[in-house]
């Protein structure tokens, strides 16, 4: 992303150019703060309002909020304008992907640490306090909260990011947590390694960001406490065109990860992740037996599952479709 930020303009309201894109911004916070909370590319006004309310009720209050609005209408802007609080910064951005919206917010973030709160998150009042205390007191690059219904992977230990990825993939496989609301990142760490979201990805951008940032993280930890929960999403009926579009987007992400994993010391774990992404694609289709291309691709990459359990490898050898249906049943529990 081309950086042509003119920081000499009026900080309270101006129109500016970022690359080839016109941004309208209303920036209220002018000083450094402890945490920047990024709320980017929300589609639901009610969810945005709920998250903002959760943030105002936090036990830890040394933060700013950056809302990046990439909708064509004015609903988000009107909702933010109706909140009388000097912690909220607003940016109107009508071009680009969800990833570019998050990257845009990072350019303006003045927090020592950064969190990205996803739209389907419900925050507990201790959410920020838990994350900040852990990452600041132990001088970490990344700290995570434990997901509802899942055990802590690190069990209080400090680990490198790579070792954490290996363990998470080994334990969770196709059930990795793509919701990065669980994480807090040191902003200086992100800047030094120039880790940003991949702007040409329209699916799994959070997963790819997570892989890249954990790959270079020296010290990460996970708190064995729950600070938020994922809300149930209303699943809309998907037609064939939507499934095909999702398939193309996930395969783009698959190819990105294929490039990323080359020559990594933990390539066998990333192979396993790629293998389960192929099953994710297969499972989206109602009649999996007709997806010959995907089935052949899975069979041609059977070495990707060398580090998997004996039971899983046996089921895959019998039939990829049988194994895919087994995963579907697990998802419905």
pLDDT of 117-130, one tens digit each?
A: 999 999 999 999 99
Residue 200 exposure: Cα atoms within 13 Å on the Cβ side = 5
d(CA 252, CA 244): 12
Chain region(s) in the chain for CATH 3.90.550.10: 14-230
Average pLDDT over residues 258-268: 93
Does the structure show a pLDDT above 60 at 180?
A: yes
Give which of 165, 113, 106, 160 is closest to 137, Cα–Cα.
113
Query: Residues near 134 by Cβ (< 8 Å), separated by ≥ 6?
Result: 140, 143, 221, 223
Average pLDDT over residues 246-270: 92
d(CA 94, CA 85): 24
Model confidence at 105, pLDDT cuts 50, 70, 90, reads very high
Map tokens 């990805």 to a residue: 201
d(CA 131, CA 144): 7
Structure tokens at 34: 């402890």
Pairing of strands 33-40, 63-69: parallel
Does the structure show a pLDDT above 50 at 271?
A: yes
Are 60 and 129 a contacting pair, CB within 8 Å? Answer: yes
CATH code: domain 14-230 is: 3.90.550.10
Structure tokens at 197: 């979201």
Are 110 and 36 a contacting pair, CB within 8 Å? Answer: yes
Q: What is the pLDDT of residue 2?
A: 32
Does the structure show a pLDDT above 90 at 67?
A: yes
Percent of the chain with pLDDT over 90: 60
């Amino acid at each position: 992303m081309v950086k042509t930020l003119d920081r000499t303009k009026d900080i309270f309201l101006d129109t500016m150019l970022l690359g080839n894109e016109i941004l309208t911004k209303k920036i209220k916070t002018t000083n450094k703060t402890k945490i920047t909370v990024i709320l980017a590319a929300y589609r639901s006004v009610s969810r945005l309002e709920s998250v903002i309310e959760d943030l105002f009720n936090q036990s830890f209050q040394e933060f700013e909020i950056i809302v990046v609005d990439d909708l064509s209408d004015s609903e988000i802007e009107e909702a933010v304008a109706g909140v009388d609080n000097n912690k909220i910064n607003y940016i109107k951005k009508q071009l680009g992907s969800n990833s570019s919206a998050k990257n845009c917010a990072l350019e303006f973030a003045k927090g020592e640490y950064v969190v990205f709160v996803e739209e389907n998150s419900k925050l507990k009042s201790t959410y920020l306090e838990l994350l900040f205390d852990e990452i600041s007191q132990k001088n970490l690059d990344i700290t995570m909260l434990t997901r509802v219904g899942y055990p802590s992977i690190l069990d209080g230990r400090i680990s490198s990011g790579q070792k954490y990825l290996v363990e998470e993939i080994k334990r969770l496989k196709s059930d990795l947590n793509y919701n990065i609301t669980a994480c807090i990142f040191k902003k200086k760490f992100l800047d030094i390694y120039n880790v940003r979201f991949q702007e040409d990805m329209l699916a799994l951008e959070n997963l790819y960001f997570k892989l890249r940032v954990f790959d270079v993280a020296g010290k990460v930890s996970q708190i064995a406490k729950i600070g938020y929960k994922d809300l149930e999403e209303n699943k809309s009926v998907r037609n064939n065109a939507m499934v095909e579009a999702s398939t193309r987007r996930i395969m783009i992400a698959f190819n990105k990860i294929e490039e990323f994993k080359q020559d990594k010391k933990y390539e066998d774990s990333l192979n396993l992740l790629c293998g389960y992404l192929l099953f994710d694609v297969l499972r989206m289709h109602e009649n999996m037996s007709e997806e010959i291309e995907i089935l052949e691709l899975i069979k041609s990459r059977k070495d990707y599952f060398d580090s998997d359990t004996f039971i899983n490898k046996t089921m895959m050898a019998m039939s990829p479709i049988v194994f895919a249906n087994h995963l579907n049943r697990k998802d419905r529990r």
